[in-house]
Amino acid sequence: MRTKKLGRSLNDPQLNTLIRPLRFLDNHTNLAYLAIDYLTPGLLVAGAASLIHFRADLGISWFVLVPTVAVAIFLIGACQHRLGGLGHEGAHYMLLKNRVLNELVSDWFCMFPVLTTTEQYRQIHLGHHEFTNDWERDPEILNVAETRRMADFPMTARQVCLNFGLRLFWPPTLLRYTWDMLYVSALGNGIHPYMPPGAEPKYPGKDVRNFRPATLLGMAYIGVMAAVIGALGFFGTAWWQLAVAPVALLAGAGLIIWRLPSEWFFRSKIKPVYSTKVSSLIRLGYFTFLQLVISIVQFSTGQDIAVYFWLLWIVPMVTSFPYLMLIRDLVQHANADDGKLTNSRVVFCNPLVRWAMFVYGQDAHLTHHLYPAVPHYNLPKLHQLLKDSNEEYAQYAVECHGLVVKRRPDAPTGIEVLERPTREPIEMPELAALQSTAID
């Protein structure tokens, strides 16, 4: 039964009364999703590693093993994408009610495993919300529009397949895209609107000279730590060595972090939940713990399992995970303008595509942009409520039914919305000028 339309404005008091209950955040739904999203990649990693390790004993040929592991790598990347989706909820303070717990759980279980932090991601993402599809201020455009070819839209379906299928997997192109993502998300060097004076990158573009001193020291710590604890796992002779080394290394790192100037760390006008120095120490603690687990298993079994970590976690992180994120972002925002009801779309697709790509409310992305305080599990209800209750939303909201194959004859697919000439194309030199202006 259709709800009576409540006028054209999204600020209608009656409409807001209907929406208010959907803002309720509970403390158990996301934890249940998080548990499932750890169980799934755990089973995939264990299964793929077992197949590789026992290949000869099981009589599995390389012709069977290689494609099987490739499928596992793709699915593990999808699981990483899902962890990032829950970290996105954490960036909006919607993972858990308590802000400190929200940050800790989001960091430790969602963002650290994919090499970033909730706070660093938050700056880029909140800026994206504030200035969606604004070519002069949207951080996602200023940081990654070139590698995502955002200025080249509209594109035909053939051009999309060519540019984001064959060409993207050409090694130099793939490495450039991976570097751009690591530079912005893992290293926190992206341009965003909340930079305090003096925190802007000193050099245009993605230059290593823009690295903060604390970032370089953190990378050096990880290298030394991995070498020391890894060597103890491989050559060590006693358990106490594995117990003492991480404690000593982290204590030394904590002392150095405490003494370093605050200007050497990631900074923002937005007050963090806990200081960036605390965040840095927790992050180093995570990587130390991860290396310790790998070394303990290696010490106990005599098997070098680090190769499985690199093959079955790092390889997906630089292949299928960013690829899924890229295609999702294009369907959500590419070839769209900056209007509040036209800067994104709502996507209906099959369950597998939704599980891997349009994770945790990313399918109702327009709805999320309009009401970012509504948790992901209430966004489908909110989308339907707005369609039924608000003339403005019902008129302008774009629904895509299917990613490539049409699911409804009267609605476009995710690929088709990238073909429509909705705006004037932007030349890349003009985009480069915008990037330079943003950091001057």
DSSP 6-47: --S-TT-HHHHHHHGGGG---SSHHHHHHHHHHHHHHHHHHH
Instruction: Measure the CA–CA gap between 440 and 432, rounded to whole angstroms.
Output: 13
Burial 186-202 (b: 16+ CB within 10 A, else e): bbbbbbbbbbeeeeebe
**423/280 Cα distance (integer angstroms):** 42
Average pLDDT over residues 149-155: 89
What is the tens place of the pLDDT at every residue in 389-435?
Answer: 888 899 899 999 999 998 888 899 999 999 876 544 444 444 444 44
Average pLDDT over the chain, rounded to an integer: 89
Is 178 among the domain residues? no
Whole-prediction pTM: 0.91
User: What is the SS3 assignment for 347?
Assistant: strand
How many domains does the chain fold into? Answer: 1
- Enumerate the β-bridge partners of residue 399: 346
Q: What is the DSSP letter of 364?
A: B
Structural contact between residues 403 and 331, judged by C-beta atoms closer than 8 angstroms: yes
Q: Which residue has the higher pLDDT, 191 or 4?
A: 191
Residues 6+ apart with CB under 8 A from 312: 44, 45, 48, 49, 69, 72, 73, 76
Residue 315 resides in a domain:
no
Answer whether 140's CB lies under 8 Å from 128's CB.
yes
> Are the beta carbons of 366 and 356 closer than 8 angstroms?
no
Q: What is the pLDDT of residue 278?
A: 95
- Cβ 80 vs Cβ 114: under 8 Å: yes
Structure token digits, residue 47? 């299964």
C-alpha to C-alpha distance for 166 and 434, rounded to whole angstroms: 29
CB within 8 Å of 335: residues ≥ 6 apart = 153, 154, 155, 417, 418, 419, 420, 422, 423
Q: For residue 428, give both structure tokens.
A: 């890349």
Find all residues with CB under 8 Å of 244, minimum gap 6, and list them. none
Residue 4 tokens read as: 């009576």
| Helix/strand/coil for 84 | helix
- 190: pLDDT strictly greater than 90: no
Report phi then psi at 294, rounded to 5.
-60, -45
In a domain, 385, yes or no: yes
Report pLDDT for 3.
52
d(CA 116, CA 112): 5
Domain assignment present for residue 110? The answer is: no
Residue 43 lies in a domain: no
Domain-located, residue 321 = no
pLDDT band of 225, cuts 50, 70, 90 = very high
What radius of gyration, in Å, describes the C-alpha atoms of the chain? Answer: 23
Average pLDDT over residues 220-246: 92
Residue 395 lies in a domain: yes
User: Distance between CA atoms of 294 and 311, rounded to whole angstroms?
Assistant: 14
Q: What is the pLDDT of residues 40-66, one digit of tens each?
A: 999 999 999 999 999 988 889 999 999
In a domain, 211, yes or no: no
Range of the domain at 386: 13-24+330-421
Kindly write down the DSSP assignment for every residue of 189-231, as one continuous string. Answer: ----TTPPTT-S-SSSSS-GGG--HHHHHHHHHHHHHHHHHHH
Residue in 3, 7, 1, 2 with CA at minimum distance from that of residue 390: 7
Lowest mean pLDDT among 26-30, 55-59, 249-253: 55-59
Question: Is the four-CA dihedral 218, 223, 226, 227 of positive or negative sign?
Answer: negative
